[in-house]
Chain A
Amino acid sequence: MKKSSVIGIIIIAIAIAMIVVIYADSSTYSTFSEAKEKQSELYVVGVLNKEKDLHYNPVEDANHFSFYMYDNDSTECRVIFRGAKPQDIERSEQIVLTGKMMGDEFHASKILMKCPSKYNDGEVEVIEASTAKTMGFVGPSASNR
């Protein structure tokens, strides 16, 4: 057999193995009820329940943070995260959790938050017009523009 064909076969074999592994490693975005069925580690997408208490008391345990989240089917579930509370979680619009279901609680190993983006949020910091900068420009010359 020619060397080039040997190399070709090896490369095709590696490529097939790669596709299989990438497929096996890839995951799906699912819901709490699916997480309960599958009992494996996966992603859950949802929103924070801002009405209920976010529990984090570092004095007691610096590695315990819990909150309630609604998934995309509006199922609510208590989420436990063994780590410090992410500082801006209250502001989040969407949360992506990585973890698995343990009984009735979802144990997250990673929390990814989507916060109002710098580019498309509608907030401008408005401060009362009192700075001297504008006062200097108010005058007949400005109105000519």
Chain B
Amino acid sequence: MDITYVGESLLPGKIGQFFVILSFGSALLSCVAYYFAAKQREDRSWLRIARISFWTNVVSVVAIGSCLFYIIYNHLFEYHYAWAHSSMSLPTHYIISSFWEGQEGSFWLWMFWQAVLGTVLLFKAKSWESPVMAVVMLCQAVLGSMLIGIAIFGERVGSSPFILLREAMDFPILSDPNYLGMIVDGRGLNALLQNYWMVIHPPTLFLGFAAMIVPFAYAVAGLWQRRFKEWITPGLPWALFAVMTLGAGIIMGSFWAYEALNFGGFWAWDPVENASIIPWFTLIAAVHVMVAYKNSGHSYFTATFLVMVSFVLVIYASFLTRSGVLGETSVHSFTDLGLYWQLVAFNLIFLGIMVYLLVRRKKEMPSTQKEEDIYSREFWLFIGALVLAVACVQIIASTSIPVFNAVFGTKVAPPIDPIAHYNKWQAGFAVVVGLLSAFTQFMKYKRTDIRKFYAAAIASLVVAAVVTAIVVYVTKVYANFMYILLVFSAAYTIVANGKILGDAIRGKWKLTGSAVAHIGFGLLLIGALVAAATNEVISVNSSNYIAVAGFDQVEKPGDNLFLTEGEPVQMGDYRITYVGDSVAPPNVYYKINYEEVDEETGRVTDSFQLRPFAQNNPDMGGLIGTPDTKHYLTHDVYTLITAAMADTHQQGQGDGEQTGFEDYEEPAVYETNIGDTLRYRNGFIVVEGINRNATVQNIPREADDVIVGLKLKVHAASGDTYDAEPVFLIRGGTTFDLFKDVKEQGLRFRFSNIMPQKDKLELMVYQKPVPEKRWVVFKAIKFPYINFFWCGAIVMTIGFFLSILRRNKEVKSKHV
């Protein structure tokens, strides 16, 4: 029996689903057609088919996005995607973030960028178009299959964003034809993603991921068509572009984590973070070896291998984050959507292509018999790439522990303290990479004048040593030898590349990009080290700390500080006061004033207010705190609420007012006469008189009714007075009474009886309990010199951009 559902708007979903299928089909056709176009160059008809289906694919991908946007924007909760990732109250700009909260949306984003990059290639790639696009469209087809969401031979392939709520979920109410009337709002967007960085970080990151296919495709094309030497030149600017965008995307994610997440830092070696940085490392290594090959003819295999493995690792990263294999080791990976084996297949297809081509063409690859000279740039570029690759192997090995468990059925847990575990290794690699990127800049390709090299290298070394001493002293990281070594290698990079930059400005402009990027890398390293090594929790709770025997060995004294509203507390250099909160549903903002006081004069030298907020969303797992940070040039003060009173959050939920008596203490019952004075906690009440003509709203007076009001005047200690008139009512032998509140004083009055025989009037006075003082528990961390980190990241990105310009010019000059 078919149920007719009421109010569903099925058209956008049907259109969307049509384009999902079309995008998959057109991508597959385009891939096949490009493949034959590359094999049979004389026959132009294959190329025509390939291009037409490519444009069809572009149109479908845009149409899928438009349909999905229409569904979310119009709150069509009959669609599971809109229901699971958005809500009515979501501001428009965050609708964009809810787009990629789910896996389907982020797959779409990837496809979209790939379509954009494909368009660029179509116009720019010239003779490379067919083989390169064949690879790109193969990936587009695989991605398209992730969104299909229909069963083929009994197996569901892909997960469609256009699936209906009643199809996705299995609840009794969803078979009610009127179910839409009962689902008035969606689950909403995770509070952590409601951040402006979340609007820009995923697109940048996915542009980086998507761009990695281009150098991969060039490498495949080069091997396949036996144009071994040629592909490096057009592939290089694309590799640089991928490195730049992926790097920028990773740093944005790190900034988002720092600004919006509550783990208190900018990098946590979380598997999801690792998954994105691994291909970035390998592609950076690849770029260096590609440059070395171009200039010396050495390391062809390494360059090709690294370019290809980078993209395979991108796919491995999506397997890690999307298949659910990470399980409890990561807080923010996706859960499995039933795409597990499809993702495995995605990995195997591209791994297979890579291995096949590398093995098959190994013998034909260009190679040199002569060994590299020790005093040559290509030798050290190669060493640097190897170090990066080894660093990657470490990250991959540690991150993949859950994968090994899944494969071998073991139950090994990841390291207890991941940050220490990764830092131990990566700090060492960073020192080596820093040193290499300093002195290699003074080398020349093929053969270096040894005396000149030592003169320049040692001069910079001396300057770097002086800089190191100053930095180490100012930032106070001298306690740890490893820290000093790291600062030194970063400083050496900055000084050496600063010298190259100086030469570049004086005419050797070609080296500008590389010099700037390496300077940025050095700054980033120093910033990361200092901020991570010397950040201190300033909300240390010394007064309330009760030492438990043996406990100090495991745990630092508590990092959380308890603050009562209006009571200042001294915390390090700051006097802090919790001054109240403001509610902007669904968020509650806690206002915390910071004042820096000069100890001698007692004057306030600096003051600011931080407003960390928290959102209570039971659907998303309770209270989610979002920090607020005060940025200074030399340090940041970071503040996060870790616990708060529950009732503020009820306000945040917008609960109605209560009419019961449960909010009040036990009443005091008085037998009074006119003119009596009664005390209450905050002042006194005068019984002024009786109103025999009292009226009651909504109850018309009947002939035999007795309605009497008792006139009261409340005198509060503050000097304010309030009037109240509770009413006593007899109708048809039954007595009623109607209470009156004086809300400002938390009072409620009942005129509960008239006792003629005693000549007394019975008055019940209810008082609210003394409100508990508001409190918050919070954590504050000081991050010194973190601006070096952000600044270094920006400088590095600029450096990559300059390099792209240079390498792109080389492509053009070859075409002429």
Which residues from chain B contact A18 at a C-beta distance below 8 Å? Answer: 390, 393-394, 397, 425
Name A61-76 residues within 8 Å CB distance of B.
61-64
- Tell whether, in the assembled complex, residue A91 and residue B622 are in contact, meaning their CB atoms are under 8 Å apart: yes
Among the stretches B283-291, B412-420, B453-461, the one at the interface with A is B412-420
- Min CB–CB distance B13 → chain A (angstroms): 14
Q: Mark B165-200, 1 if CB is under 8 A from A, else 0.
A: 000011101100010111111010000000000000
> A120's closest neighbor in chain B, by CB?
B335
Contacts A63-B558, A84-B643, A109-B554 given; indicate if A29 touches B411 (C-beta within 8 A): yes
Which residues from chain A contact B379 at a C-beta distance below 8 Å? Answer: 3
| Category for how many chain A residues contact B | 35 or more
Among the stretches B307-315, B544-552, B672-680, the one at the interface with A is B544-552
| Alpha-carbon separation in the docked complex, A100 to B553 (Å) | 11
User: How many residues belonging to B are interface residues under a CB distance threshold of 8 Å?
Assistant: 72
| Alpha-carbon separation in the docked complex, A98 to B414 (Å) | 11
Task: Tell me, yes or no, whether A54 is within 8 Å of chain B by CB.
Answer: no
- Min CB–CB distance B504 → chain A (angstroms): 31
Which residues from chain A contact B55 at a C-beta distance below 8 Å? Answer: none
| Alpha-carbon separation in the docked complex, A122 to B461 (Å) | 64
> A28's closest neighbor in chain B, by CB?
B413
Which of B335, B414, B551, B642 is in CB contact (< 8 Å) with A83? B642
Which of B337, B557, B561, B624 is in CB contact (< 8 Å) with A119? B337
Q: Mark A85-106, 1 if CB is under 8 A from B, else 0.
A: 1011001001010111010000
Contacts A18-B393, A22-B397, A91-B621 given; indicate if A142 touches B562 (C-beta within 8 A): no
> A4's closest neighbor in chain B, by CB?
B371
- Min CB–CB distance A96 → chain B (angstroms): 6
> B642's closest neighbor in chain A, by CB?
A84
- Min CB–CB distance A109 → chain B (angstroms): 6
Which residues from chain A contact B184 at a C-beta distance below 8 Å? Answer: 127, 131, 133
Which residues from chain B contact A131 at a C-beta distance below 8 Å? Answer: 181, 184
Which residues from chain A contact B424 at a C-beta distance below 8 Å? Answer: 21
Contacts A2-B371, A91-B621 given; indicate if A98 touches B4 (C-beta within 8 A): no
- Tell whether, in the assembled complex, residue A62 and residue B187 are in contact, meaning their CB atoms are under 8 Å apart: no
Which of A29, A122, A128 is in CB contact (< 8 Å) with B171? A122
Contacts A83-B558, A85-B643, A119-B335 given; indicate if A127 touches B182 (C-beta within 8 A): yes
- Min CB–CB distance B645 → chain A (angstroms): 9
Which residues from chain A contact B554 at a C-beta distance below 8 Å? Answer: 41, 99-100, 102, 107, 109
- Tell whether, in the assembled complex, residue B413 and residue A29 are in contact, meaning their CB atoms are under 8 Å apart: yes
Which residues from chain A contact B541 at a C-beta distance below 8 Å? Answer: 61-63
Which residues from chain A contact B546 at a C-beta distance below 8 Å? Answer: 61
- Tell whether, in the assembled complex, residue A142 and residue B7 are in contact, meaning their CB atoms are under 8 Å apart: yes
Which residues from chain B contact A118 at a C-beta distance below 8 Å? Answer: 84, 187, 619-620
Which residues from chain A contact B421 at a C-beta distance below 8 Å? Answer: 22, 25
Contacts A3-B374, A11-B386, A133-B7 given; indicate if A102 touches B173 (C-beta within 8 A): no
> A85's closest neighbor in chain B, by CB?
B643
| Alpha-carbon separation in the docked complex, A98 to B182 (Å) | 42
- Tell whether, in the assembled complex, residue A58 and residue B775 are in contact, meaning their CB atoms are under 8 Å apart: yes
Which residues from chain B contact A115 at a C-beta distance below 8 Å? Answer: 621
> B412's closest neighbor in chain A, by CB?
A26
Which residues from chain B contact A9 at a C-beta distance below 8 Å? Answer: none
Task: Tell me, yes or no, whether B787 is within 8 Å of chain A by CB.
Answer: no
Which of B185, B562, B622 is in CB contact (< 8 Å) with A88? B622
Query: Which of A26, A28, A41, A130: most chain B CB closer than 10 A?
Result: A26
| Alpha-carbon separation in the docked complex, A102 to B412 (Å) | 24
- Tell whether, in the assembled complex, residue A88 and residue B623 are in contact, meaning their CB atoms are under 8 Å apart: yes
- Min CB–CB distance A83 → chain B (angstroms): 6
- Tell whether, in the assembled complex, residue B621 and residue A83 are in contact, meaning their CB atoms are under 8 Å apart: no
Name A8-53 residues within 8 Å CB distance of B.
11, 14-15, 18-19, 21-22, 25-29, 41-43
Which residues from chain A contact B331 at a C-beta distance below 8 Å? Answer: 112
| Alpha-carbon separation in the docked complex, A123 to B550 (Å) | 44
- Min CB–CB distance A29 → chain B (angstroms): 5
- Min CB–CB distance B611 → chain A (angstroms): 19
| Alpha-carbon separation in the docked complex, A102 to B184 (Å) | 50
Which of A22, A63, A129 is in CB contact (< 8 Å) with B398? A22
Which of B6, B183, B393, B556 is in CB contact (< 8 Å) with A15? B393
- Min CB–CB distance B50 → chain A (angstroms): 38
> A82's closest neighbor in chain B, by CB?
B555
| Alpha-carbon separation in the docked complex, A130 to B182 (Å) | 8
- Tell whether, in the assembled complex, residue B183 and residue A125 are in contact, meaning their CB atoms are under 8 Å apart: yes
Task: Tell me, yes or no, whether B114 is within 8 Å of chain A by CB.
Answer: no
- Tell whether, in the assembled complex, residue A58 and residue B777 are in contact, meaning their CB atoms are under 8 Å apart: yes
- Tell whether, in the assembled complex, residue A142 and residue B4 are in contact, meaning their CB atoms are under 8 Å apart: yes
| Alpha-carbon separation in the docked complex, A121 to B386 (Å) | 46
> A81's closest neighbor in chain B, by CB?
B555
Q: Mark B509-544, 1 if CB is under 8 A from A, else 0.
A: 000000000000000000000000000000001001
Which of B7, B182, B425, B623 is in CB contact (< 8 Å) with A137? B7
> A103's closest neighbor in chain B, by CB?
B550
- Min CB–CB distance A17 → chain B (angstroms): 9
- Tell whether, in the assembled complex, residue A27 and residue B416 are in contact, meaning their CB atoms are under 8 Å apart: yes
Which 9 pairs of residues, A with B, have the shortest CB-CB distance? A63-B558, A88-B622, A134-B181, A84-B642, A87-B623, A62-B562, A25-B415, A87-B622, A129-B181
26 contacts between A and B (CB under 8 A): A2-B371, A3-B371, A25-B421, A26-B413, A26-B414, A29-B411, A56-B643, A60-B544, A62-B777, A63-B545, A63-B558, A64-B558, A82-B551, A83-B560, A84-B642, A84-B643, A84-B779, A87-B621, A91-B621, A112-B328, A114-B328, A122-B171, A125-B187, A125-B619, A129-B178, A143-B4
